[in-house]
Amino acid sequence: MKKVTTLGQFIIERQADFQYAKGELSRLLRDIGIAAKIVNREVNKAGLVDILGEHGTVNSHGEKVKKLDVYANEQFISALGAGGETCAIASEENDELVPVTTDVSRNAKYLVCVDPLDGSSNIDVNVSIGTIFSIYRRANLDGALSEKDFLQNGTAQVASGYIIYGSSTMLVYTTGKGVNGFTLDPSIGEFCLSHPDMKCPGTGKIYSINEGNYVHFPEGVKQYIKYCQEEDESTKRPYSSRYIGSLVADFHRNLLKGGIFIYPSTAKSPKGKLRLLYECNPLAFIIEQAGGKASDGKKRILDIVPTALHQRTPLFIGSVEMVTKAEELMRAYSEQTV
């Protein structure tokens, strides 16, 4: 019988990698895994909501049906609070930071940034969606907790990862010692190691960008799209355009197959659309650990000094050779206006 390594077993086996106290990360990732299983259960029946009742109404069991992203947010906040390792949460769903005030969390040292259900608008059309998380340790354990505790560079992340609720549900994470992927086995209710030591191919044939915004793209992005579409056998161009409007799904495919995802500045989002703390930083940590690259078109994402919980940034992320090429064109055409 093939050896099955559950997420819990793997974390314990790899505790030596963790630079802080042994049990802390295990419990933190366990808490995230628990919330992910609960959210997965609800996401999987989302299509039935119309039968069980519209969002915001009462279903056939008399339970109030919540919008799934609100539900997911509540599950992650509740699981992290019950776990006792988290002192505060920055969530896409909450304007302000969410202090964790449960008794068990009195001495907690960790901060969690989370996008509880990214791409939730895709649920109604059965497209894969995801949760993205990023874990920091409080730099200053004295003094009152404040937003400033969260404004650490991405290089200070203790761990980061995502859950993709797709044809199967996977949890992918890093603690700075490589990237490992776990697939949920519903028959035993465990995330099992399925993708050990994940690596992003140095190059690829997929580019992911919403070309509907083309007219507002920086000239360097327009030139990169043109480069992707040119015929050139030696570099296997033209590449294929793949964009499903769900960041975790587009990222996960490009991580496995090689490719580049770009969400640049646009007229509607002059600083980009995606959020630094709970979308770009965690995925940048993952991609670098898998041998890929992530920048805002010019600067390494992990080196950006955050100034606000929900700040946005342009994002160029994926295979190192593809991101480097896009950055070259951004530099070459940086003076040209849109």
Residue 273 or 293: the one with the smaller Cβ distance to ligand P6P is: 273
Q: How far is the CB of 129 from ligand P6P (least distance, A)?
A: 8
CB–CB of 319/259 below 8 Å?
yes
Torsional sign, CA 338, 121, 184, 155: positive
Q: How far is the CB of 259 from ligand P6P (least distance, A)?
A: 14
Under rule CB under 6 A, which residues in 125-154 are in contact with ligand P6P?
A: none
Please count the other Cβ atoms lying within 10 Å of the Cβ belonging to residue 194: 17
DSSP state, residue 301? G
Q: What are phi and psi of 91, to 5 degrees?
A: -120, 145
Residue 38 or 244: the one with the smaller Cβ distance to ligand P6P is: 244
Residue 118 binds ligand P6P, judged by CB under 6 A: yes
Among 87, 123, 247, 329, binds ligand P6P (CB under 6 A): 247
Enclosing H/E stretch for 183? strand 179-185
Q: How far is the CB of 248 from ligand P6P (least distance, A)?
A: 7
Tell me the three state secondary structure of residue 83: helix
d(CA 324, CA 295): 9
d(CA 286, CA 15): 18
CB–CB of 296/275 below 8 Å?
no
Q: How far is the CB of 197 from ligand P6P (least distance, A)?
A: 26
Q: How far is the CB of 223 from ligand P6P (least distance, A)?
A: 20
Residue 114 binds ligand P6P, judged by CB under 6 A: no
Residue 101 or 121: the one with the smaller Cβ distance to ligand P6P is: 121
Q: CA nearest 149: which of 109, 93, 106, 114?
A: 109
Q: How far is the CB of 50 from ligand P6P (least distance, A)?
A: 21
Residue 100 or 247: the one with the smaller Cβ distance to ligand P6P is: 247
Q: How far is the CB of 234 from ligand P6P (least distance, A)?
A: 31
d(CA 333, CA 255): 27
Residue 175 binds ligand P6P, judged by CB under 6 A: no
Residue 246 binds ligand P6P, judged by CB under 6 A: yes
Q: How far is the CB of 40 from ligand P6P (least distance, A)?
A: 18
**Amino acid at position 220, single letter:** G
DSSP bridge partners of 132: 115, 162
Among 137, 252, 273, 293, binds ligand P6P (CB under 6 A): 273
Among 33, 116, 119, 201, binds ligand P6P (CB under 6 A): 119
CB–CB of 18/27 below 8 Å?
no
How many residues of this chain interact with ligand P6P, rule: CB under 6 A? 8
Q: How far is the CB of 83 from ligand P6P (least distance, A)?
A: 26
Residues whose CB is less than 8 angstroms from the CB of residue 296 and which lie 6 or more positions away in sequence, other chains included: 272, 304, 313, 314, 315, 316
Residue 248 or 304: the one with the smaller Cβ distance to ligand P6P is: 248
Among 245, 271, 298, 336, binds ligand P6P (CB under 6 A): 245
Residue 81 or 119: the one with the smaller Cβ distance to ligand P6P is: 119
Residue with tokens 């495919």: 253
- How far is residue 81 from each of residues 54, 85, 98, 306, 328, measured CA to CA in Å? 29, 8, 10, 25, 45
Torsional sign, CA 186, 187, 191, 196: negative
Residue 228 or 247: the one with the smaller Cβ distance to ligand P6P is: 247
Residue 210 binds ligand P6P, judged by CB under 6 A: yes
Q: By the criterion CB under 6 A, which residues form the site for ligand P6P?
A: 118-119, 121, 210, 245-247, 273
